[in-house]
Amino acid sequence: MSSHLGSPRSLPWFTLAAVALAASLAACGGGGGSSNLTPAPEVATSRTAVYFTDDFSAAYDAVWISVSRVTVVNPSGETQVALFEPAQLVNLPTLRRTGALMATADLPLDATAIRVYVDSAAQLQQLDGSMLPVSLAATGGYLEFRLEGWNAATGSLALDFDLPRFTLQNGVLTAATRIASNDDYAGWNQRYAEAQGAVTAVSATSLTVDTRHHGLRSFVIDTNTTFVSSRSATWSPAVGDRVELSSLVSGQGADLQFTARAVKDETDSESQRADKVEGLVTAVSTVGGVTQVTANIRRSKAVGAQGEVVFDVATATRFKRGSASLLAAGVAIEAYLVPQGSGWLASAVEIDGAAKSDSDSNEPDSVSEGYVDVKGRVTGVSGTVVTLQATYTERLPGVAVGDSLTLDIANAYFEKGGAACLAAGVAVEVKGYRDAAGVLQPVKLEVEGGCSSAYPTPGVTAPSTPPSTDASAFVEAKGTVMAVRSGEFDLSVYRIEDFAGVSPATVTVTYGSTTVFRDGLSSASLAVGNFVEVKGNLQAGVLTASKVERE
SS3 for 458-509, per residue? CCCCCCCCCCCCCCCEEEEEEEEEEEEECCEEEEEEEEEECCCCCCCCEEEE
Q: How confident is the model at residue 89 (pLDDT cuts 50, 70, 90)?
A: very high
Helix (H) or strand (E) holding 414: strand 413-416
pLDDT score of 173 more than 60 = yes
Selection from 417, 448, 418, 414 nearest residue 431 by Cα: 414
**80 class by beta-carbon count within 10 Å (0-12 exposed, 13-18 middle, 19+ buried):** middle
pLDDT score of 56 more than 50 = yes
pLDDT score of 198 more than 90 = yes
- Who has greater pLDDT, 507 or 32? 507
In this predicted model, what pLDDT tens digit does every residue of 210-224 receive, in sequence order? 999 999 999 999 999
CA atoms within 13 A on the CB side of 514: 6
pLDDT, average across residues 299-304: 90
d(CA 390, CA 403): 6
- Who has greater pLDDT, 232 or 326? 326
Selection from 461, 497, 467 nearest residue 181 by Cα: 461
| pLDDT winner (highest mean) among 5-9, 111-115, 271-275, 448-452 | 111-115
CB 550 within 8 A of CB 530: yes
Q: Calculate the average pLDDT of the chain.
A: 86
pLDDT score of 22 more than 70 = no
pLDDT value of position 272: 58
Q: How confident is the model at residue 470 (pLDDT cuts 50, 70, 90)?
A: low
In this predicted model, what pLDDT tens digit does every residue of 399-449 receive, in sequence order? 988 999 999 999 999 999 889 889 998 999 999 999 888 889 999 999 987
pLDDT, average across residues 248-262: 91
Selection from 306, 314, 360, 342 nearest residue 89 by Cα: 306
pLDDT score of 340 more than 80 = yes
In this predicted model, what pLDDT tens digit does every residue of 107-160 receive, in sequence order? 999 999 999 999 999 999 999 999 999 999 999 999 999 999 888 988 999 999
Neighbours of 465 (CB within 10 A): 10
